[in-house]
Structure 1
Amino acid sequence: MKFLLDTNAVITILNKNQTFISKLKQYRPSDFGLPAIVLFELYYGAEKSQRKAENLANIARLPFEVLPFSADDARLAGKFRAELAKAGKSIGAYNVQIAAQACSRNLTLITHNTKEFIRIDELKLEDWQDEFSSF
Protein backbone atom coordinates (compact mmCIF):
# COMPACT_ATOMS: atom_id res chain seq x y z
CA MET A 1 0.00 0.00 0.00
CA LYS A 2 1.30 3.44 -0.98
CA PHE A 3 -1.65 5.82 -0.79
CA LEU A 4 -4.59 6.75 1.41
CA LEU A 5 -7.67 8.19 -0.29
CA ASP A 6 -9.48 11.19 1.18
CA THR A 7 -13.24 11.50 0.83
CA ASN A 8 -13.09 13.98 -2.04
CA ALA A 9 -10.76 11.65 -3.97
CA VAL A 10 -13.21 8.76 -3.63
CA ILE A 11 -16.11 10.99 -4.68
CA THR A 12 -14.09 11.95 -7.76
CA ILE A 13 -13.72 8.23 -8.54
CA LEU A 14 -17.44 7.61 -7.96
CA ASN A 15 -18.25 10.54 -10.27
CA LYS A 16 -16.15 8.81 -12.96
CA ASN A 17 -13.68 11.65 -13.49
CA GLN A 18 -11.60 10.22 -16.34
CA THR A 19 -8.47 12.29 -15.67
CA PHE A 20 -8.39 11.11 -12.07
CA ILE A 21 -9.21 7.51 -13.02
CA SER A 22 -6.41 7.50 -15.62
CA LYS A 23 -3.94 8.41 -12.88
CA LEU A 24 -5.48 5.80 -10.56
CA LYS A 25 -5.07 3.07 -13.19
CA GLN A 26 -1.30 3.56 -13.12
CA TYR A 27 -1.44 1.63 -9.83
CA ARG A 28 -3.07 -1.52 -8.44
CA PRO A 29 -6.13 -1.32 -6.16
CA SER A 30 -3.92 -2.80 -3.42
CA ASP A 31 -1.77 0.35 -3.57
CA PHE A 32 -4.64 2.30 -2.00
CA GLY A 33 -6.20 2.29 1.43
CA LEU A 34 -9.56 3.70 2.43
CA PRO A 35 -9.76 5.09 5.97
CA ALA A 36 -12.80 3.88 7.91
CA ILE A 37 -13.52 7.57 8.59
CA VAL A 38 -13.78 8.19 4.83
CA LEU A 39 -16.10 5.21 4.51
CA PHE A 40 -18.27 6.74 7.25
CA GLU A 41 -18.39 10.06 5.37
CA LEU A 42 -19.33 8.27 2.13
CA TYR A 43 -22.13 6.30 3.83
CA TYR A 44 -23.42 9.46 5.49
CA GLY A 45 -23.58 11.23 2.13
CA ALA A 46 -25.25 8.24 0.47
CA GLU A 47 -27.87 7.98 3.20
CA LYS A 48 -28.79 11.66 2.72
CA SER A 49 -28.79 11.52 -1.08
CA GLN A 50 -31.70 11.29 -3.48
CA ARG A 51 -30.03 8.26 -5.14
CA LYS A 52 -29.43 6.38 -1.90
CA ALA A 53 -29.55 2.81 -3.27
CA GLU A 54 -27.30 3.63 -6.23
CA ASN A 55 -24.76 5.44 -4.07
CA LEU A 56 -24.68 2.66 -1.47
CA ALA A 57 -24.10 0.11 -4.24
CA ASN A 58 -21.26 2.20 -5.68
CA ILE A 59 -19.59 2.40 -2.27
CA ALA A 60 -19.91 -1.36 -1.84
CA ARG A 61 -18.07 -1.89 -5.14
CA LEU A 62 -15.00 0.13 -4.16
CA PRO A 63 -11.98 -2.19 -4.51
CA PHE A 64 -9.88 -0.65 -1.75
CA GLU A 65 -8.90 -2.10 1.62
CA VAL A 66 -10.66 -0.31 4.48
CA LEU A 67 -8.26 0.66 7.26
CA PRO A 68 -9.70 0.71 10.78
CA PHE A 69 -8.76 3.57 13.09
CA SER A 70 -6.13 2.13 15.45
CA ALA A 71 -4.80 3.13 18.85
CA ASP A 72 -1.64 4.45 17.14
CA ASP A 73 -3.81 6.52 14.80
CA ALA A 74 -5.72 7.91 17.80
CA ARG A 75 -2.53 8.87 19.64
CA LEU A 76 -1.13 10.65 16.59
CA ALA A 77 -4.45 12.36 15.81
CA GLY A 78 -4.62 13.66 19.38
CA LYS A 79 -1.07 15.00 19.08
CA PHE A 80 -1.78 16.68 15.73
CA ARG A 81 -5.06 18.21 16.89
CA ALA A 82 -3.48 19.63 20.06
CA GLU A 83 -0.51 21.06 18.14
CA LEU A 84 -2.76 22.63 15.52
CA ALA A 85 -5.07 24.13 18.15
CA LYS A 86 -2.10 25.56 20.06
CA ALA A 87 -0.83 27.16 16.83
CA GLY A 88 -4.29 28.53 15.99
CA LYS A 89 -4.45 26.38 12.85
CA SER A 90 -7.18 23.89 13.74
CA ILE A 91 -8.72 21.63 11.11
CA GLY A 92 -11.74 19.33 11.26
CA ALA A 93 -11.55 16.33 13.58
CA TYR A 94 -12.21 13.84 10.77
CA ASN A 95 -9.41 15.32 8.68
CA VAL A 96 -7.01 15.09 11.61
CA GLN A 97 -7.91 11.41 11.96
CA ILE A 98 -7.40 10.76 8.24
CA ALA A 99 -4.04 12.55 8.32
CA ALA A 100 -2.96 10.53 11.35
CA GLN A 101 -3.78 7.28 9.56
CA ALA A 102 -1.67 8.33 6.59
CA CYS A 103 1.26 9.41 8.77
CA SER A 104 1.21 6.39 11.09
CA ARG A 105 1.35 4.07 8.07
CA ASN A 106 3.80 6.22 6.06
CA LEU A 107 1.27 6.63 3.23
CA THR A 108 0.71 9.56 0.89
CA LEU A 109 -2.74 11.12 1.20
CA ILE A 110 -4.54 11.74 -2.09
CA THR A 111 -6.80 14.77 -1.56
CA HIS A 112 -8.07 17.93 -3.19
CA ASN A 113 -8.41 19.52 0.26
CA THR A 114 -4.81 20.65 0.52
CA LYS A 115 -5.87 23.89 2.24
CA GLU A 116 -6.44 22.06 5.53
CA PHE A 117 -4.10 19.11 5.24
CA ILE A 118 -1.03 21.20 4.38
CA ARG A 119 -1.06 22.39 8.01
CA ILE A 120 0.28 19.00 9.13
CA ASP A 121 4.00 19.08 8.36
CA GLU A 122 4.55 15.32 8.68
CA LEU A 123 1.85 14.49 6.12
CA LYS A 124 2.75 13.57 2.54
CA LEU A 125 0.11 14.95 0.15
CA GLU A 126 -0.73 14.69 -3.52
CA ASP A 127 -3.57 16.47 -5.30
CA TRP A 128 -4.46 14.45 -8.38
CA GLN A 129 -7.20 16.90 -9.30
CA ASP A 130 -4.65 19.64 -9.77
CA GLU A 131 -1.83 18.25 -11.91
CA PHE A 132 0.50 21.06 -10.87
CA SER A 133 0.08 20.46 -7.15
CA SER A 134 2.16 17.86 -5.35
CA PHE A 135 3.43 18.23 -1.80
Structure 2
Amino acid sequence: MRFLLDTNAVIALFNNNSPRLSQRVRACQVSDIGLSVIVAHELFYGAFKSQRQEHNLRRVEMIGFPLVPLDWAAARAAGEIRALLAQGGQPIGPYDTLIAGQALSRNLILVTSNTKEFDRVPRLVVEDWSRADS
Protein backbone atom coordinates (compact mmCIF):
# COMPACT_ATOMS: atom_id res chain seq x y z
CA MET A 1 0.00 0.00 0.00
CA ARG A 2 1.31 3.43 -0.97
CA PHE A 3 -1.64 5.82 -0.80
CA LEU A 4 -4.42 6.68 1.65
CA LEU A 5 -7.55 8.34 0.27
CA ASP A 6 -9.17 11.18 2.19
CA THR A 7 -12.95 11.53 2.33
CA ASN A 8 -13.09 14.27 -0.30
CA ALA A 9 -11.19 12.08 -2.78
CA VAL A 10 -13.67 9.22 -2.36
CA ILE A 11 -16.63 11.57 -2.73
CA ALA A 12 -15.08 13.01 -5.91
CA LEU A 13 -14.77 9.45 -7.23
CA PHE A 14 -18.40 8.71 -6.30
CA ASN A 15 -19.60 11.85 -8.06
CA ASN A 16 -17.26 11.40 -11.03
CA ASN A 17 -16.36 15.08 -10.88
CA SER A 18 -12.58 14.81 -11.14
CA PRO A 19 -11.32 13.08 -14.29
CA ARG A 20 -7.70 13.53 -13.17
CA LEU A 21 -8.37 11.85 -9.84
CA SER A 22 -10.25 8.99 -11.51
CA GLN A 23 -7.42 8.49 -13.98
CA ARG A 24 -4.77 8.38 -11.23
CA VAL A 25 -6.80 5.88 -9.20
CA ARG A 26 -7.33 3.65 -12.26
CA ALA A 27 -3.57 3.70 -12.91
CA CYS A 28 -2.96 2.13 -9.48
CA GLN A 29 -3.36 -1.43 -8.33
CA VAL A 30 -6.18 -1.86 -5.80
CA SER A 31 -3.57 -2.96 -3.27
CA ASP A 32 -1.73 0.39 -3.70
CA ILE A 33 -4.61 2.35 -2.19
CA GLY A 34 -6.05 2.17 1.30
CA LEU A 35 -9.14 3.63 2.89
CA SER A 36 -8.96 4.88 6.46
CA VAL A 37 -11.52 3.49 8.88
CA ILE A 38 -12.10 7.16 9.79
CA VAL A 39 -12.95 7.93 6.15
CA ALA A 40 -15.27 4.91 6.07
CA HIS A 41 -17.01 6.31 9.16
CA GLU A 42 -17.42 9.73 7.51
CA LEU A 43 -18.81 8.12 4.35
CA PHE A 44 -21.31 6.00 6.30
CA TYR A 45 -22.37 9.06 8.30
CA GLY A 46 -22.99 10.99 5.09
CA ALA A 47 -24.91 8.07 3.59
CA PHE A 48 -27.17 7.73 6.63
CA LYS A 49 -27.91 11.48 6.53
CA SER A 50 -28.63 11.55 2.81
CA GLN A 51 -31.94 11.55 0.97
CA ARG A 52 -30.81 8.48 -1.00
CA GLN A 53 -29.74 6.48 2.03
CA GLU A 54 -29.89 2.94 0.60
CA HIS A 55 -28.20 3.94 -2.65
CA ASN A 56 -25.37 5.73 -0.85
CA LEU A 57 -24.92 2.95 1.71
CA ARG A 58 -24.47 0.46 -1.15
CA ARG A 59 -21.88 2.74 -2.75
CA VAL A 60 -19.87 2.90 0.46
CA GLU A 61 -20.14 -0.86 1.02
CA MET A 62 -18.91 -1.56 -2.51
CA ILE A 63 -15.61 0.33 -2.11
CA GLY A 64 -12.94 -2.16 -3.03
CA PHE A 65 -9.95 -0.62 -1.29
CA PRO A 66 -8.44 -2.29 1.79
CA LEU A 67 -9.58 -0.72 5.06
CA VAL A 68 -6.76 0.74 7.17
CA PRO A 69 -7.46 0.33 10.90
CA LEU A 70 -6.60 2.77 13.66
CA ASP A 71 -3.85 1.02 15.59
CA TRP A 72 -1.45 2.03 18.38
CA ALA A 73 1.13 3.53 16.03
CA ALA A 74 -1.50 5.64 14.26
CA ALA A 75 -3.02 6.75 17.58
CA ARG A 76 0.40 7.80 18.83
CA ALA A 77 1.20 9.68 15.62
CA ALA A 78 -2.20 11.42 15.75
CA GLY A 79 -1.64 12.42 19.36
CA GLU A 80 1.74 13.89 18.49
CA ILE A 81 0.28 15.75 15.50
CA ARG A 82 -2.54 17.18 17.60
CA ALA A 83 -0.13 18.38 20.30
CA LEU A 84 2.33 19.93 17.82
CA LEU A 85 -0.35 21.76 15.87
CA ALA A 86 -2.09 22.96 19.04
CA GLN A 87 1.22 24.30 20.38
CA GLY A 88 1.71 26.17 17.11
CA GLY A 89 -1.81 27.57 17.19
CA GLN A 90 -2.77 25.81 13.94
CA PRO A 91 -4.90 22.80 14.90
CA ILE A 92 -6.77 20.72 12.35
CA GLY A 93 -10.01 18.79 12.82
CA PRO A 94 -9.99 15.67 15.00
CA TYR A 95 -10.85 13.29 12.15
CA ASP A 96 -8.16 14.83 9.95
CA THR A 97 -5.68 14.40 12.80
CA LEU A 98 -6.49 10.68 12.98
CA ILE A 99 -6.26 10.25 9.19
CA ALA A 100 -2.91 12.06 9.16
CA GLY A 101 -1.69 9.82 11.98
CA GLN A 102 -2.62 6.73 9.98
CA ALA A 103 -0.79 8.01 6.91
CA LEU A 104 2.33 9.04 8.84
CA SER A 105 2.58 5.86 10.88
CA ARG A 106 2.45 3.74 7.71
CA ASN A 107 4.54 6.06 5.50
CA LEU A 108 1.59 6.51 3.13
CA ILE A 109 0.92 9.43 0.81
CA LEU A 110 -2.38 11.10 1.66
CA VAL A 111 -4.52 11.83 -1.40
CA THR A 112 -6.77 14.81 -0.69
CA SER A 113 -7.94 18.11 -2.10
CA ASN A 114 -7.79 19.50 1.44
CA THR A 115 -4.12 20.39 1.14
CA LYS A 116 -4.45 23.64 3.10
CA GLU A 117 -5.32 21.72 6.25
CA PHE A 118 -3.04 18.71 5.84
CA ASP A 119 0.01 20.73 4.74
CA ARG A 120 0.25 21.90 8.37
CA VAL A 121 1.24 18.38 9.44
CA PRO A 122 5.04 17.99 9.58
CA ARG A 123 6.49 15.12 7.51
CA LEU A 124 3.10 14.20 6.01
CA VAL A 125 3.28 13.72 2.24
CA VAL A 126 0.11 15.07 0.62
CA GLU A 127 -0.94 14.91 -3.03
CA ASP A 128 -4.00 16.44 -4.69
CA TRP A 129 -4.73 14.14 -7.63
CA SER A 130 -7.50 16.41 -8.86
CA ARG A 131 -4.95 19.07 -9.85
CA ALA A 132 -2.95 19.05 -13.06
CA ASP A 133 0.37 19.60 -11.26
CA SER A 134 0.13 16.56 -8.98
Query: Which category of TM-score, normalised to the shorter sequence, fits these structures?
Result: over 0.9
Instruction: Check if 1:21 corresponds to 2:55.
Output: no
CA drift of 1:78 comes to 0.5
Q: Which runs of 5+ in 2 are unaligned?
A: none
Query: Which amino acid counterpart does residue 111 of structure 2 have in structure 1?
Result: I
Cα RMSD (Å) of the superposition? 0.9
Quote how far apart the aligned CAs of 1:7 are: 0.2
Q: Percent identity?
A: 48
Offset, 1:21 = 1.1
String of CA shifts for 1:52-81, please: whole Å, max 9, x gaps. 100000111111001110011111101110
Counterpart residue identity of residue 29, structure 2: R
Residues in 1 aligned to 2:97 and 2:60: alpha-carbon distance in whole angstroms:
23
How much does 1:129 deviate?
1.3
Tell me whether 19-28 or 86-95 shows the greater mean CA deviation. 19-28
Give the corresponding residue for 1:106.
107
| Superposition map of 1:121-132 within 5 A | 121-132=122-133
Contact 2:20 2:131 in 1 (8 A): no
Write the distance in 2 (CA, Å) between the matches of 1:61 and 1:130. 26
Partner SS for 1:34: strand
Q: Is the 8 A contact 2:3 2:32 kept in 1?
A: yes
Q: TM-score, normalised by structure 1?
A: 0.95
> Unpaired runs of 5+ in structure 1?
none
Letter in 2 for 1:95: D
Aligned to 1:61: 62
State the TM-score, normalizing by the size of structure 2. Answer: 0.96
Residue 47 of structure 2 aligns to a residue whose secondary structure is helix
Q: Residues 20 and 132 of structure 2 are in contact (CA less than 8 Å); yes or no, is this contact kept in structure 1?
A: no
| Counterparts of 2:20 and 2:12, CA distance in 1 | 10
2: CA distance between counterparts of 1:52 and 1:108?
31
User: How far did residue 19 of structure 1 move?
Assistant: 2.9
What is the distance in 2 between the residues matched to 1:25 and 1:130? 16
Q: Which residue of 2 aligns with 1:10?
A: 10
Q: Secondary structure at the match of 2:126?
A: strand
